[in-house]
Each structure stands twice: as C-alpha cells, then as structure tokens.
Structure 1
Amino acid sequence: MSTVLTADPIKEFLIKRLYDKQWNGFYTAIEGEDNIVCDDKRLEDQIFALIALAEAGAEKDSLQEMVSILNKFYDDSTGSFHEMIDRFGIVHSVGRVRHTHIQLLASYGLLRLGEYVEDEMLIQKGLSLFQLINEKVLSKNAPSILNEQLNEPISYDKSVLSFIYGMFAAEKAFQITEDQEYKNLLNIFVKNLAYFEDQDFGGLYENLLIDQTPMKNKGKKAFSHAAAALAFIKAGRLLENEELFEKAKQYFMYITDRFKHPFLGGYWNKSDVSGKVKVDPLQSYYGNEESPFPVKLTMDQTLLLLCADQLHQLYPNESFQMLTQELASEVSRFIDESGGVFIGQGNWFSTPVDPTVPLIRHFMVPHHTAGAFYAGNTGYLPLHEKHTKTQALTLLCYSLSQSIVPGRNTTTEYKKKSPLDVKQLDFDLTKVSYGKEMNLQIDKALYLSWLSKTRSGSGFGLTPYRSPLGFRSDTSPQNFSALHVVSDLTVMGEEITEQDRESILKGMFDCQNQDGGFAEQAGHLSEVFTTYCVVLTAFILGSSVPNKEKCIQFIQNCQNSDGGFGNSKGYPSDVWHTNLAVLALHALGTKPLDEAECLVFCASCQNDDGGYGVRPNAPSDTFSVFRAVDTILVLEHQPAELNKTIQWLQSCQTDTGGFMYKPGSVESFVGSYHAIAALYLLGELPKKLEECKTWLSQHQSKDGGFSRAINAPSDTTDEGFICLQASYMLERNLNPYWVAIIT
C-alpha cells in the first residue's frame, strides 16, 4: 500500500546516520546504513542541514548544540567562514576560500537558525556576514570566488546563485529587523537577476563575466532555476509584487518544459545555453568543472517539487497540481525504504533526450567531487550514495510543502503479466566455442595483440594506453575490464596460465568489501554491477569467490519488493541490474529470494510491440530486450510472445547492418550487440547477416582495438568484447549458454 511520507523519517536519518555525534557536524557522504564515504565537512552541507532541521521542527536545545559546529568554520580575523574542514575541525587549505553564494547561504542560515532557537548572537553574526559580503563583494562586481581576506578574486565571473541566496538573506534580514535597508537590497538583487536572463532562449545564465557578458559555455542548471523561483516567490510576498510570482513561474516552467526525462519521469540537471539537454565533452574537458553527461539529481527534483507546490498555492490550477504529483512520485522513487535518499539516476549508451540504459554512476565527474572514486583517468560518482545536501533539501521540501505528498509506492504500479511457461535451458558449458571454420571479417590476430597490452598489474585495464589524452581510459586495472579480457581470451581459445589465473583472481578478490559485494577497485563501493564482473570472471576461471555466502546475501539484499533488483540495497529496480544480479546468483549456484516476483517484474517490462523496456511502462529498447529475455531464460522460463519479440528486434536493423536501439532512433553500437545477442538466445540471427558482419568489422581501429564509432580511435575492452563475441554469434560458433551468462 502507499504511505504518506512525512519529514520525520528523513530528519531521523539525517541526525542518526549523517551527524557526527563525537565531533559534531554532518559528514558529506555515506553509503548504506553507516558506511562513511567522506567524513570531511563542508560549510554548505552544515547550513543546509541545520536550516532543514529548523524547518522540520527539530528540538531547539539539540539544534543549538549542532549549530556550534559553525564555530569551527568561523574565521574571527575576517568575520566570514572557511568552507571545508576535516572531521575534527581542522581547516583544509582549500577550505580557506570564499564562494560568494555560500557565504550568503551561511548568512541566511544564521538568521533563520537564530530566529528559530531565539539566539540574538546568531542573528547578529548573520547580519554582520551579510553586510560584509554586500560591501566587499556584491557592491564590487560580485566575483564568485575570492580569497579568505575577500580582497582578491580567484574567479573573474559571477554566479547567479550569489544573487539568489542574497535574496533569501535580505528577505530574512528584513523580516527579523524590519530595517528598510534590507528591503532596498532585496529590490537590488531582484534587478540583478535580470542581467542573468537570456533574451534569446529564455531562462537564466549560470554565470556572467564581471562585465555582465554571459558565459554561454556554462549552460543552464535546474537547481539555479528552482532556487530562483523560490526566491522570487518569497520576494513577491514581501514586496507585495505579483509580477515576481510570474517571474517565479517563468523560471520553473523553463525547466519543466525543457529538462524533462523523456519517459522515466523527473528532470535532468543541466542543458546547454539554448536549453538543449546533451552530452558536452568540451566544457567538461577544458573547464574541468562538471561531467559531460547530464544526470537526474534528487535534490533538483525536491526543489522543483517545492516550487510546484508553492506555485499551486498561488495558481491553483490542474497543471501545477499534476506537476506536484509527478515530482512527488519521482522524489519518492529515490527514497530508500530502510532510510535516506539516494543521489539520483544516470543513463549511458544513448542520448540524454532518448536514454535507455540506467547507469548508477555519474561518469567523468570533476576531481574532488564529494563521494567520487577514480579508476585510472576517469572519475565516477556512485549514485546510490546518500549525501547530507540531498537529505537536507529533501527534508526541507517535505517540511515546507503544503500539499499531501505520497510516499514511495511499495506495490507495483504496472499491470502484472501472467505466469510464464517453464523452459529447460541447456546449462552445458563443456564447449564455449564450437570450433567451427569461420570467415571472420575482423582481424582477430591484431585484436589479440591489442588485448594482450591491456595487462596491468594483477589484472587488465580498459585500454593499453598508459597516459592518454582526451577522455580515453588508461590501463589502470579494473574488474569490468578483466571480465571482458578473460571472456575474449577464452572464446579465442587462448591459454590462461595457472600463474596468470591466480594473479587475476587475487587482484579481483582484493576488491571484496565487508558486505560481501565487490567493487571496481579495492576501496571502492560494492555494486551488483561490479560483483557480477568478479563472480563471472571467477566462474570462467573455475574458481569459487571468497565469503561466498556473504556475497550471495549482498546480491539477494538488492532485490526490491517489486521483484526487480537495483545496483545496491534499496536502489530502484531496473531490468538491467536485475539481469546482472540473477546471472551472478546463477553462477554462485542459487537464485533470487523471490524468484516468482523477479520473473513477474521482467515479464511486466514487455510491451505490446513485443519488445521490453528498462522497467515496466518504459518504451522498448534492444538493451532491455536482451536483459529481460536473458533473465527469464536463465530462470528456466519461456519468454512470452517470442515471435513478436524476434520481429521487433529484426525491425531495428538498418540497411548498413547495425541496429537502432529502437525503431526510428539512431544506430547504436552497444545496442546492436544486445539485439544480436537477444536474437541468438532466441535461435535467430539478423536478417542482413553479411551486412552485419561487415558493419562490426568497420569498428576495428588501426591499432587493433574497437570503437563505438566508425573511423574513430579505439575505445575500450568493452567494445572489443562486443565485436568479438557478436562476430562469433553471427558464425553460430558460440554456445548460447555462454551468451546468456557472459555479457
């Protein structure tokens, strides 16, 4: 049954799991129930958490004690705040910086907290900080980052958040003091927002240069627009100016009109200056400030939900009511039933406007991103972490919302399919390849040479390149790559010596965590995805994994009440991670705890066209067809309407031989592998067989590796795995059971 979600569970999680009871203050990030990912403390997190607790009605004496953490950030010599300390209160060297918007957020936080706990000293400190930043920064072109003395800019741009947070601080200062000066400043900040407005495409620029020139390469952000809308609603009420309500509506609708995820709900975090959501490698590579990939952040959804709720109070119409319900449902998806709120959701192997594969990592994040891990030259953020900022903003949203907000639905929200017929799958892996004569168009010897150079330490890297430029991966060992290399060597009949076998397995087994799951590299977080990679590599090499029962328990604990699996415990289900979980359990000699519901979940991902979506009610794509069909077969059942599924897959093939990941979309390299593999499991091959062989071979680069694009530098062992394994399938020279479990 559905539950009504209140602020209380999130408040409890924030205090019990993210609050440092020994040294005071809130950790930046944790994973699971109490696994600290980052115990450093940021000023921004402390302020958001304390404001949220005040709005949630936290006990005043306890909150006053928590507020004392701000003393460790305070710099008496300047009257401003350092912005990063370690767990014990020692200031990091890079914490001796002043972001204009964070100092103004601190000012607002001090005013709100002082008002709530009735502490005049906090109020005075908040007013003093506000005056300091206004006089030394806002009135002097408002650079976004300065040194700790506030007399030297570190960045010669200004952020829209500086004036948004300034509006919050000015409104609160006037509310407390009734000093007309603050109302005047509020009007000034409102006028300053006009400089950030894009007269051509609408919305707000994220940054301007000091001379008011827009920094178009910075694009536009969902968070800033939502924060601006909330600030204008506050300002409109104080100044009794309904035109400001219209501005708030305009900023909010800019996001809901342009940033919407096409079929899974919710809104992306960013766009280019024209409002187009896209992958932008240039800004990421040369600006080094953000990932090239958009991501769906829960904190953005919560601010937008609060906007929708407040706009519905101002404009009580069906449109805002529906948006409130839609956003409430989206936020609730990322609330863990066992406590806390996940960061959000990403996608991979497709375009942001038509995404298919759920990837529970945000790739290529900038260095020093909170909670990020690094594998070679690539950083990634596991989206199943729980950050203080996410918890605080969600708590703030639910505390200030005036509408009834539904909780995460613990029942299925889709029509369940009928039970599937039992099917006996041939689980004989005596032969991986049948040893047939083949007419391969790929250069196997050249690929083998390339592949051998990926050897790195005890394992294998994604590429043989030690220090590549661009976004190419390097040769740092990764478990994801080890599975590919070991798989390809096995298919090609290459010997893996006992010494190499032991070395590979030791490196992979060293990545096991206390929860029994495996990480990409030692010290990273456990995921179903990486656990699958280790378990199946061990399976190929004829080894058992250490702590087998704990490993099984880790995977089984990732099954949700809908029958599907997420990438970690409590994370929302999708057919991709359901497939990887089921395959890992199969290799470990067991099944999901609720096998029947797992089958129902996968069967319910099938659509009327015969294809399958990434979760029930999502449009069909080749990735999901393979994942669903494969899972059902490995659980020894017969997928429904096989002929319809085969016809749908074959309809995705193009004249050049590759496959679109769904009819009418772009041709997809990885989507083609999934289409070929799905057909192979169903006893079929692509209709344009020779064209498909040629198309695959055209992806081989001059160095022997393979690329997702034709005539491009080689990518990774993933692309090599795709071309080699698919080429063997097209020759009917691969055991279907191998195809089913090694993917």
Structure 2
Amino acid sequence: MSQNSLSPKALWSTYVTKFANTEFGGFVSAIDYDATRSITADRMVETAVLARWAMAEGGFTEGKAELVQSLADFVDPLHGGYLEFLEVSGIPHELSSVKTAQRQFLVAAALLEAAAHGDGDLTAGREQLAHARGLLVRDGRMLGSVARDGSSVLDDRSPAAGAAAELLALARIAGLSGRQEDRDAAAQAAATLVERHVEADGSVPDWRGVDGLPVPTAKVDLTASSLTAIALAEAGRVLDDEGLLRQAATIVTYNSEHLWDERFGGHWNHCDLDGRITIHREFITLLNSAIPIKTTAANAWALLAYGRVVQTLPADGRDALERSIARTRGYIETMTDRENGGVFIGEGYFWTPPGTPVGPFVRQMLPPRDLPGIFHFGSSSFLRLYNKQATPQILTALALETTRTVTSDDLTQLAPTQTSEVTELAAALKPASAPIENIYAMEGVDLSGVMDVERHLRYIRSSFTPGQGYGWTPRIAPIGSGANQAPSVFGTHHSVANLRVLGEDPQELEQVTTWLTYAQAANGAFAEFPGGPADVLNTYLAVNAFQLLGHEAGPRDHEAAVSFLRACQNEDGGFGVVPGFASDLFHTNLAVVALDSLRSEPADPDACVRYIMASRNEDGGYGERVGTPSDTYSVYRAVGTLALLGKDLPFREEAIRFLQDCQGPGGGFSHDLVSRESLIATYHAVAALYLLDAEPLRRDEVQQWLTGCQTPDGGFSNIPGVTSGTIDEGFAAVQSLAILAKGLTPYFAIAVS
C-alpha cells in the first residue's frame, strides 16, 4: 500500500484557481488538460452546488466567497428555484429552459448539507426543496424534467438520482429540526425510494417509466446508485433505522462486485440491469455513450458512498468496504495529473466483441449535449477524457478528504518498473536494428486475388474532401452513430497507408500535406482536425502521414512536436496520451514511433525499455498496462517499440506461442485467449508474428477470414458478414493481407499502424 499521496486541498485549489473566470466571474465547466484554455466557458449549477456541499463537509475555505456567490448567480428570478446553466457572461443558457429533478433536488440537498455543518441556514434549503417538489412531483410521481416555468412536462420518466437527492434533503431537515413531521416525511421518502427504485440484489436502475418498471434503456448508473446509497445511509442514521442502513450497504456492495473492473481497475460508470458489463453490439464502428467508460466523477461518487456507508457499520464489519475504499482511492490516483494538477475526466477503452475492454482510448462518442468538454466533428460529438471538468475536481477533493483514514491501494498498473528483475532483463536484451526507410516509396502489393482492390480504392477515394484530406468513411450523413466523410488526421493516415500498399498515389498530395500541417496545435501536438484536441495518437498519425506522403519537412514546428512527445513520458518510462496521464503500451508505442518518424527518440530510452519489460507476463504475452492480462495488441506494440529502441524481444518462442494460441476456430484472431475473433485483433496478431519471423499456424484460414470481412461497398467489417466499418477496419484488413503476402518490410509493419 502507498501513503495517501493525493492532497484534497491541492485538488480544491486546482478548481478554485484554474477554473475561475477572471473576466466574467464564476467558474468555467471544462478546461484543457494543461489548463491553457477554457474549452467550455458555460457554467453549470451542479458544479456550484457540489462546491457548496464540499466546502461545508470537507472544510475547504479557499475561494469561499466567490463560490458562494457563484451558486447565488443561478437563482431563477422569474420562476423560482435555480437555473441549471448560464452562459459565460451570466445570461441564462438555452439549456436553462429546462429544470431537471436531479439538479433541482441536489441544490436543496447541498444547501441543507451546508446548514448541517453550520455553513448556512435551514430556510434556504427548505424553500428550494418545496419548490422542487412542487415543480417536479406530480400525482405522487417524480418527473425527470419540466419546462423552466413548470408549464409542461418534458420527461415523465422517474430518475433514481432525483429521488435520492430528495431523500438526502429530507433526511438533513429531519436531522436539523428534530420535528416528528420532518422525520415522518423522511421515513416516507426513504420507503418510497427503496420500494420504487432499489432491487432486491441492491441494483438501482437509473430510470423508471410511468408503469414503475425500468425503461428499456435503463442501466445501473454508478452515480445514481451511489447517491441512493448516500441518501439511505443518511436517512438510516437520522432515523436510527437499521433496515435503511442495511439497504445502503447492499447497494454499495453491488457496486463493488459488479462495477469494479478487475482487469484495469476502477469502476465502470454503468452496467446492464443483470450486472454485466457489455457493449450491446457485436460490431463496433465508433465508441458511443452507451458503451461503459470510467469517469473520475463517478468513481468519486462511489468513494463518497463507501465512506458514508462504512461509518454506519460496526468496526468488525467494515473490512470489505474499507478494501473498496482503498482500491477506489488507488484508482483515482491513476487519474491524477501530477504535471498540471487536478484530475482528468476519465478514460475509455477499445472494446472487442462481445464486450471485453482491450486498452485505453480516452474518447467517448455521442455524449449528452449538456456535458462540458464536448468537441463537435463531422456528424458526431465526442469527449476527450484526458481533459478536465470542474465537477470531478470538487467531488474528488471531497471524497478523498472524507475517506482520508483509509490508505490507498496501489493498482497493478502502477507497479514499479525499476525492480532489479526488470532492470536485469532489460539490460540483457539482445541488440536489434530496424533501419529507417522511405515508406512512401514502397512498391504496391498485388492483393487482387484475396480482395476486391478496385472497390476498396473507390471506397477510399470517395472519402476524400478536395484541398483537405480523407475521412473515416465515404458517407456524408449516416444514420445513427456512424462516422462520416469529414476529413480527419486519422482517416487521412489510414487511407494514405492503404493507397501506398495498393500501389496508388494519394489525391492532391501537396494540398493534403498542407492541410495536415494546420492540425498542429501551439504546444506542438497534433489534433484529429485543425483546432481540435491534440494528443499522442493524432501526433503519431500526422507525423507518420507526412512520411507516407513523402513530405520530408514534416510538421511546421518540428521541435515543438518532439518536445510534446517527450513530455508525455512518465517516471515509469512509459508514455501517456498527454503529459501527466498514466502510461500504457499503446501510447508508448505511438510516441516512440512518432519520435522515430521525427528522427528523434525518448528522453529516457532505457526507462522506456524497462517499462515494456515490466509489462511482460508469464504466458509470453504483454499487457496494455503493467500487471494487466496479455493481449495481441500489446505484443505487437512491445515488439515494434523495442525494435525501434534497438532491442530484440526476449522469450520470442513464448510470445509466438501466445499469439498463435489466440487464433480462433473461424481463422481470425482474438485479442486474448478467451475473447472472440475480430479484425483489429487479427491485424495486431498477424503483424506481431511477422515481426517475430513467424506466421499463423493456419495461414490460409486467417486469409480467408480476412477476405470474408470485405463488404459490398468496398470497406471492411470487424467480423465477417456484418455492416461496413470505417477506414480503421479497412486499414487492418489491407495491412494484414499485405503482410501475409510478404509484401511489407518489417520497418513498414512497425512504423505504420
């Protein structure tokens, strides 16, 4: 176990100083990871409310006057209650035409929480509670949302989080007043919350319909579930009701058992009603908000709930929840930015069918429109999870402060990489060489016998926007969450790579090169599109694309690109997606390859080698993070990264055997020994075997499987027989087929991924 290395006061200070709007007052909702700019200047009542709560319970005093005023700014002068969003200048935002149960009742709960700690009066909380109930409770049912003036119902579903916030407010009133009528109201609300929203196993469906049943899209949401446990624990304490306390304990136990990720650590933000983590799709084109991610805010809510509930248990019955507290604190430490302060929004993952997280991707497609930090691109909106929102800073500071008596667990992904065993293994590695070559000058590979080349070339050409670059797909306005034709650095890199492999020149080479240069940000990193969020992934894609295009000059600011990439190397030797973010093999590989493309290397190559060696497992494979299970993706990343650092992969036969064992019955590869076959996993396995001077045991079968993934429009799907994917799948298929045809050099297979 580690000492508690996070300072709640430091996190609080990060919020007060770095989210403050010095021009208009108040606090912005989201900033860049390095605090260089505000990316959502609009203001949210939820942030101001939680700050009021945290000041009272956590004892934080820095910025108190400004924070109290910030909440007061949200008072609705026309209709009572509180506005939920303000524009940067303080004018009501368009989203403030709606009032939602969770936010309105949370205002009341926070005002009463402050009163309970001697930091406010009971009247303000009572008045807000009465207003919220009059607005959002009709015929004994709580509504999801209504118009600002209450004239119309906008969402007649009942939210568990709203009911929990209402109970928390009522319990606080009962505890403060001691009046029997207040105690009766709290008891009735607690009974209603349990009866209507809590299942026998402790799961809490987040939304219920008019019929009282969970709506078709309902899930067990960690935030709503944790808030429910907090409310029941408080009601149980105030009312001296052992049944409510047991119910709260059942809920947090469910969260600990079903929402904790044993593979990478941390709680998922939701699971299905049956307690399983799934992605609801056999075939994945783009990540969307229905797919579980891990947010720091949700984990902080879970930590708050564990902390509240454990206090209600006898000393000899606290072990299980204290372990949950310790590991949750440990996970939150991995989301801490030790470069710039504060905590990141969270992390997302690659997924392989039917629902196994493969590795960090830090991106969420199609998030709710009222979520700060969203970027809009083409037909989609997405959230870069390495940026920072205001709310997680507050919640994390409060959760850590209120659980400070429990020491944080070290997660396996933070295991030391400087052990004597790792150091000796790294020092004993045989030297290797991967000569740099002009990858744009490669000869085309004839794949006409295993795929419809012309149809795929038309697919790529149709995704081109003149004067700019290539998109993820040729589609202009797809239905649903499909990617469109909007030019991107990702689409351009993968399209150009396939064109080179198939012996075709890219369209408008000079214009594409120029457009790529516009995607470089002031700090030297590249974004997926000019003006977007910049990171290691897109920096790799851009600088490697310059190589593929034959553009010798590279980025406009070469040194800034190198400096950014080097700044992403952590003390453990690995690289994160941005400076300060936890290391993983995926971004370590991309950073090293990008530096190689820029004719440079990591600031500490030896530490990088040790990080890779620390990621090795006994089964011969490598994990995405230290201590995580082996997967085909990570073996490929380890082999290629070591080669560029001048080292040969040790224990080659074990690694080959692990990869070969991942070939499935259909011929394709899965990302590990228990998952199902997928195109992306197949590409990584085929490429890794090639770099290890080996090949699949059933070579013809994997080739046939890859051919079966091509769809009638010329693209490729992630598994045979389903709808077309994006250029991501197209890249994986073409590169795999070219490797099997022995048409790629080792350097090309390492550098272009």
Q: Distance in 1 between matches of 2:263 and 2:105?
A: 37
**Mapped contact 1:143–1:210 kept (Cα < 8 A):** no
Matched with 2:265 is 265
Matched with 1:691 is 701
Matched with 1:307 is 305
Matched with 1:255 is 255
**Mapped contact 1:309–1:402 kept (Cα < 8 A):** no
Change beyond 3 A, Cα 1:541–1:462? same
Matched with 1:210 is 210
In structure 1, what residue type is equivalent to 2:299?
Answer: Q
Q: CA RMSD in A?
A: 2.4
Q: Distance in 1 between matches of 2:277 and 2:67?
A: 40
Task: Please state how far the C-alpha of 1:407 moved relative to its aligned partner.
Answer: 8.8
Matched with 1:534 is 542
**Mapped contact 1:535–1:588 kept (Cα < 8 A):** yes
Q: Distance in 2 between matches of 1:539 and 1:680?
A: 22
Instruction: Indicate whether 1:556 and 2:566 are aligned.
Output: yes
Q: Distance in 1 between matches of 2:610 and 2:744?
A: 29
In structure 1, what residue type is equivalent to 2:357?
Answer: P
Instruction: Indicate whether 1:297 and 2:295 are aligned.
Output: yes
Instruction: Indicate whether 1:403 and 2:402 are aligned.
Output: no
Task: Please state how far the C-alpha of 1:408 moved relative to its aligned partner.
Answer: 7.8
**Mapped contact 1:434–1:735 kept (Cα < 8 A):** no
Matched with 1:522 is 530
Change beyond 3 A, Cα 1:5–1:443? same
Matched with 2:123 is 124
Structure 1 residues 452-461 or 423-432, which shifts more?
423-432
SS at match of 1:218: coil
Q: Distance in 2 between matches of 1:445 and 1:29?
A: 46
Matched with 2:275 is 275
CA deviation digits over 1:315-345, x for unaligned, max 9? 4343222222111111111011131011112
Q: Distance in 2 between matches of 1:652 and 1:294?
A: 25
Task: Please state how far the C-alpha of 1:599 moved relative to its aligned partner.
Answer: 0.7
Matched with 2:239 is 239
Matched with 1:453 is 462
In structure 2, what residue type is equivalent to 1:697?
Answer: T
Instruction: Indicate whether 1:134 and 2:149 are aligned.
Output: no
In structure 2, what residue type is equivalent to 1:54?
Answer: A
Task: Please state how far the C-alpha of 1:139 moved relative to its aligned partner.
Answer: 5.6
Q: Distance in 2 between matches of 1:411 and 1:103?
A: 40
Normalised TM-score (structure 2): 0.93
In structure 1, what residue type is equivalent to 2:260?
Answer: K
**Mapped contact 1:516–1:554 kept (Cα < 8 A):** yes
Matched with 2:690 is 680
Q: Distance in 2 between matches of 1:703 and 1:726?
A: 19
Instruction: Indicate whether 1:704 and 2:705 are aligned.
Output: no
In structure 2, what residue type is equivalent to 1:717?
Answer: I
**Mapped contact 2:432–2:647 kept (Cα < 8 A):** yes
Task: Please state how far the C-alpha of 1:230 moved relative to its aligned partner.
Answer: 1.4
CA deviation digits over 1:179-217, x for unaligned, max 9? 433322211210111233465765122112234233242
In structure 1, what residue type is equivalent to 2:56?
Answer: A
Instruction: Indicate whether 1:502 and 2:510 are aligned.
Output: yes
Matched with 1:645 is 655
SS at match of 2:391: helix
**Mapped contact 2:415–2:626 kept (Cα < 8 A):** no
| Identity within the alignment, % | 27
Matched with 1:567 is 577
Q: Distance in 2 between matches of 1:539 and 1:180?
A: 76
Task: Please state how far the C-alpha of 1:577 moved relative to its aligned partner.
Answer: 0.5
Task: Please state how far the C-alpha of 1:116 moved relative to its aligned partner.
Answer: 5.3
Q: Distance in 1 between matches of 2:515 and 2:368?
A: 27
**Mapped contact 1:167–1:190 kept (Cα < 8 A):** yes
Task: Please state how far the C-alpha of 1:163 moved relative to its aligned partner.
Answer: 1.5
CA deviation digits over 1:50-76, x for unaligned, max 9? 32233332338x413321123332123
CA deviation digits over 1:71-128, x for unaligned, max 9? 33212332211111111100012212211221111112223345657554xx433221
Instruction: Indicate whether 1:627 and 2:637 are aligned.
Output: yes
Matched with 1:387 is 389
**Mapped contact 1:157–1:208 kept (Cα < 8 A):** yes
Matched with 1:320 is 321
CA deviation digits over 1:668-708, x for unaligned, max 9? 21000000000111122212111121111111111211111
In structure 1, what residue type is equivalent to 2:245?
Answer: F
Q: Distance in 1 between matches of 2:100 and 2:27?
A: 20
CA deviation digits over 1:590-609, x for unaligned, max 9? 11111111111111111111
Change beyond 3 A, Cα 1:437–1:541? closer
Matched with 2:6 is 5
In structure 2, what residue type is equivalent to 1:100?
Answer: A
Matched with 1:88 is 89
Normalised TM-score (structure 1): 0.94
Q: Distance in 1 between matches of 2:319 and 2:176?
A: 36
Change beyond 3 A, Cα 1:685–1:429? farther
Q: Distance in 2 between matches of 1:164 and 1:77?
A: 27
Task: Please state how far the C-alpha of 1:562 moved relative to its aligned partner.
Answer: 0.8
Change beyond 3 A, Cα 1:22–1:347? same
**Mapped contact 1:706–1:716 kept (Cα < 8 A):** yes
Task: Please state how far the C-alpha of 1:436 moved relative to its aligned partner.
Answer: 6.8
Q: Distance in 1 between matches of 2:19 and 2:497?
A: 41
Q: Distance in 2 between matches of 1:734 and 1:50?
A: 60
Task: Please state how far the C-alpha of 1:430 moved relative to its aligned partner.
Answer: 6.8
In structure 2, what residue type is equivalent to 1:346?
Answer: G
Structure 1 unaligned residues grouped into runs of 5+ = none
Matched with 2:628 is 618
Structure 1 residues 63-72 or 393-402, which shifts more?
63-72
**Mapped contact 2:33–2:344 kept (Cα < 8 A):** no
Structure 1 residues 266-275 or 379-388, which shifts more?
266-275
**Mapped contact 1:349–1:670 kept (Cα < 8 A):** no
Structure 1 residues 309-318 or 690-699, which shifts more?
309-318
**Mapped contact 1:17–1:33 kept (Cα < 8 A):** no
Instruction: Indicate whether 1:413 and 2:413 are aligned.
Output: no
Change beyond 3 A, Cα 1:548–1:2? farther
Q: Distance in 2 between matches of 1:404 and 1:655?
A: 48
Change beyond 3 A, Cα 1:2–1:58? closer
Matched with 2:181 is 181
Structure 1 residues 130-139 or 608-617, which shifts more?
130-139
In structure 2, what residue type is equivalent to 1:319?
Answer: A
Instruction: Indicate whether 1:444 and 2:470 are aligned.
Output: no
CA deviation digits over 1:598-648, x for unaligned, max 9? 111111111111111101111110011101111111111111101111111
Matched with 2:191 is 191
Task: Please state how far the C-alpha of 1:661 moved relative to its aligned partner.
Answer: 1.4
Change beyond 3 A, Cα 1:336–1:407? farther
**Mapped contact 2:438–2:547 kept (Cα < 8 A):** no
Q: Distance in 2 between matches of 1:315 and 1:353?
A: 38
Task: Please state how far the C-alpha of 1:251 moved relative to its aligned partner.
Answer: 0.6
Task: Please state how far the C-alpha of 1:728 moved relative to its aligned partner.
Answer: 1.0
SS at match of 2:383: strand
**Mapped contact 1:49–1:388 kept (Cα < 8 A):** no
Q: Distance in 2 between matches of 1:621 and 1:227?
A: 36
Q: Distance in 1 between matches of 2:474 and 2:737?
A: 22
Matched with 2:614 is 604
Matched with 1:76 is 77
SS at match of 2:217: helix
Q: Distance in 2 between matches of 1:108 and 1:681?
A: 59
Structure 1 residues 90-99 or 345-354, which shifts more?
345-354
Matched with 2:338 is 337
CA deviation digits over 1:325-381, x for unaligned, max 9? 111111111011131011112111325853112111122324453211222223221
Structure 1 residues 359-368 or 31-40, which shifts more?
359-368
Q: Distance in 2 between matches of 1:636 and 1:5?
A: 37
SS at match of 1:357: strand
Task: Please state how far the C-alpha of 1:588 moved relative to its aligned partner.
Answer: 0.6
